Structure 1
Amino acid sequence: MTVLTGVATLPAARVEEAVKIHGIGATEVRALDHVTVDFPARRFTAIMGPSGSGKSTLLHCAAGLDTLTAGSAFLGATELGGLPDRRLTVLRRERIGFVFQSFNLVPTLTVRENITLPLDLAGRAADGQWLATLVDVVGLGDRLHHRPSELSGGQQQRVAVARALASRPEVVFADEPTGNLDSRAGAEVLGLLRRAVDEMAQSVVMVTHDPVAAGHADQVLFLADGRLVDAMAAPTAERVLDRMKAFDPRTEAGR
């Protein structure tokens, strides 16, 4: 395990010279090609790029869900590549929150049980005040004893966001969290992630294809062909869409 030292303010996560190769020989695909990037603490970062640009691969490697072919990935000061599988599993459970496009709720558990699941798996008691705050923020206080099947898609994703935040992780990684939602439900989920950063001092990294979603972030990173090609501070949906048109002139508003 490698530890970074002498840094005044560490990013929530970081990759250095990240390379990820799938396949060998004629079938080789370089999903990440020497990417170095910081994901600042207590900030909302969006990752965008054309299909196949490597954005989900970058998120998965930064979150320890996948391993790099070369280079390093850090959570705070901890290098993920130096951890044995058991310690990496514990790190993901205790220090990282995840939100996926498919919600990934346990259908037999109630809303409350789904929210506290990471804590239950770690053998940790839920902080009652923090849990009450989360429930209030996601607006599901009257649904705590319902099962996922009794909720709308937007409500299920709000439960997933609360679950990701339940353990007060150092960073939340969200992979297309609004991909299965209509525009109204998607806006609610993005608002929750924004509030998590602004009001709860969380760090959020989100992969998205949607310029409107990216407009909720503090910065947007643009990937193309596995490389970091641009970054935008204080993004708006219009500015992000204009930048995406440089990758694909056929891009249309609202896509």
Structure 2
Amino acid sequence: MSRATAFPVPPAPGGTGGAVAARATALSKVYGHGETRVAALDAVDVEFRRAEFTAIMGPSGSGKSTLMHCMAGLDSISSGSARIGEVELGTLDDRRLTRLRRDKVGFVFQAFNLLPTLTALENITLPLAIAGRRPDAGWVERIVATLGLSGRLAHRPSQLSGGQQQRVAVARALAAKPEIVFADEPTGNLDSRSGTELLGFLQESVRALGQTVVMVTHDPVAASYADRVVFLADGRIVDEMREPTAGAVLDRMKAFEVNGRTN
């Protein structure tokens, strides 16, 4: 799989790379009690910076999806702090948390979750319509062009390939100009070519559109598209890698597996 993107990659706009889009401080998530107690996350400290693409990796059961769900406000935390920008998620009631997820967070999942009766454009702008907000036509047009969807906007999901459907899902996640986009195994239901294209588009959304992307993945090749990889094991962050390559990520994951068997 090639790392080449479909478009020239200009510098990220606005010099936002130093600002923090989301932060966890001593974040813990515990399920059950007594003998059934499981610590899915154990005092995690991590920052996700604006206009940066971060991949979260770790063995099965390491807590990577739990971390994403807690940081996105999809799951409650047991202790510690989770923030989007300067907003502490634990202080929000259900109504305000729903509003924050709608206005500040974008989501991309394995399942495309497109409504079959709507066109691609209607699916892209649906969250804005539900929120009673008018889409920024120029921004949507830019996203659509970046994702190569300009000729597919009138098509319904059944008329699109799997890769095109996932691109529509990415466009929908970006349409509201979220502060951060969380992607949970976004290439899991795609073939190799479509997965390569999608990863290039996520990379492009960071570099050309200034978005912030956090992606959970088990695939070292997918992780190699990120600017940074955070590694979890047993609910804790155990390592970090900048400018990753697929080979280096794979070697690191193999080392975790060996250490896990020998400890």
The two structures share one fold, judged by TM-score above 0.5: yes
Partner of 2:25: 16
2:234 pairs with 1:228: no
2:77 match: secondary structure: coil
Return the alpha-carbon distance in structure 1 between the equivalents of residues 257 and 194 of structure 2: 27
Does the Cα contact within 8 Å between 1:10 and 1:77 map onto a contact in 2? no
Partner of 1:168: 177
Partner of 1:50: 59
- CA-atom RMSD in angstroms: 1.2
Partner of 1:36: 45
Query: 1:248 offset after TM fit, Å?
Result: 2.2
2:199 pairs with 1:203: no
2:74 pairs with 1:65: yes
Write the mapping of 1:31-180 to structure 2, written as runs, cut at 5 A: 31-180=40-189
Which residue identity does 1:195 align to in structure 2? E
2:251 match: secondary structure: helix
1:200 match: secondary structure: coil
1:130 match: secondary structure: helix
- 4+ residue segments displaced more than 4 Å: none
Query: 1:10 offset after TM fit, Å?
Result: 3.9
Structure 2: runs of 5+ lacking an equivalent: 1-17, 259-263
2:197 pairs with 1:188: yes
Candidates 247, 253, 256, aligned match of 1:247: 256
Query: 1:141 offset after TM fit, Å?
Result: 1.5
1:46 match: secondary structure: strand
Q: State, as a whole percentage, how many aligned pairs show the same letter.
A: 65
2:257 match: secondary structure: coil
Structure 1: runs of 5+ lacking an equivalent: 1-8, 250-255
Query: 1:128 offset after TM fit, Å?
Result: 1.2
So what's the TM-score if we normalise by structure 2?
0.90
Which residue identity does 1:179 align to in structure 2? G
Return the alpha-carbon distance in structure 1 between the equivalents of residues 37 and 140 of structure 2: 46
Partner of 2:10: none
So what's the TM-score if we normalise by structure 1?
0.93
Does the Cα contact within 8 Å between 1:110 and 1:148 map onto a contact in 2? yes
